[in-house]
Amino acid sequence: MNEELKKLYKTVILKHDKTPFNFEKKEGATYRVQAYNEICGDRFELFFEIKNGIIEDMSFYGFGCAISKASTSVLVKKINGQPIAEAKKIIELFLKNIISKNKNTEIKDEEMTAFSAAKDFPGRQKCATLAWDEMKKMVNVE
């Protein structure tokens, strides 16, 4: 089996795919963000509250591949409980790391860097950024 691919999945992705963080549908949430990839049909929804400028009670639900599910799960884990300004920074950092060609050595958090290899596999970069891209739009408005 392809070692690069095994590495990509093994560290973070399989864990979050099998046991996603706050994987729960909350119909009554004040804020709901849709993350839909029309190319493959992956569809997730983020649920959260914003109280005093802090993202709270965040959860997500939906269906997609292991990469998109895990990356959404990591997003929820990383920005839940963060002030919006901090969430913005985290999102920027994550996306920059995925898009850039050089490995970002500043980030020590494995969950934040695990997805960067996705771009080496045809058509899979979007899976890693799907929910992050949508959340970025949302926090930039707030």
Partner 1 sequence: MFDPEIIRSHFPFFSHHPELVYFANAATTQKPASVIRGIAGFYEKENTNVHRGLYKLAANTSQKYEQVRQKVADYIGAEKKENIVFTSGTTAGINLVAQSFLAPRLQPGDEVVISIMEHHANFIPWQQLCKNKKANLRIVPINKKGELDISAFKKTISQKTKMVAAVHVSNSLGTINPIKEIIDISHKKNIPVLIDGAQSAAHFDIDVNKLDADFFVFSGHKMYGPTGIGILYGKEEFLINMQPAVFGGDAIKDVRIEETIFADPPKKFEPGTQNIAGVIGLGLAIGFLNKINKKEARIYLNKLTEYATDELKKINGLEIIGRAKNKSALVSFIFENIHPHDMATFLGAENIAVRAGNHCTQPLMDFLKIPGTVRASFSVYNTFAEVDRMVGAVRETEAFFR
Interacting residues with partner 1 (CB under 8 A): 1-2, 4-6, 9, 14, 18, 40-42, 63-67, 69, 121-122, 124, 127
Which letter does DSSP use for residue 117 in this model?
G
Nearest to partner 1 of 14, 54 (CB atom): 14
CB of 69 to partner 1, least distance (A): 8
Shortest Cβ 82–partner 1 spacing (Å): 29
CA atoms within 13 A on the CB side of 138: 22
Ramachandran angles phi, psi of 121, nearest 5°: -115, 130
Our CB check for partner 1 shows the closer of 38 and 106 to be 38
Cα–Cα distance for residue pair 53/86, rounded to 1 Å = 10
Nearest alpha carbon to residue 124 among 98, 92, 87: 98
- Quick one: 1 or 141, whose CB is closer to partner 1? 1
Q: How far is the CB of 123 from partner 1 (least distance, A)?
A: 8
Residue 118 has φ and ψ, to the nearest 5°, of -60, -30
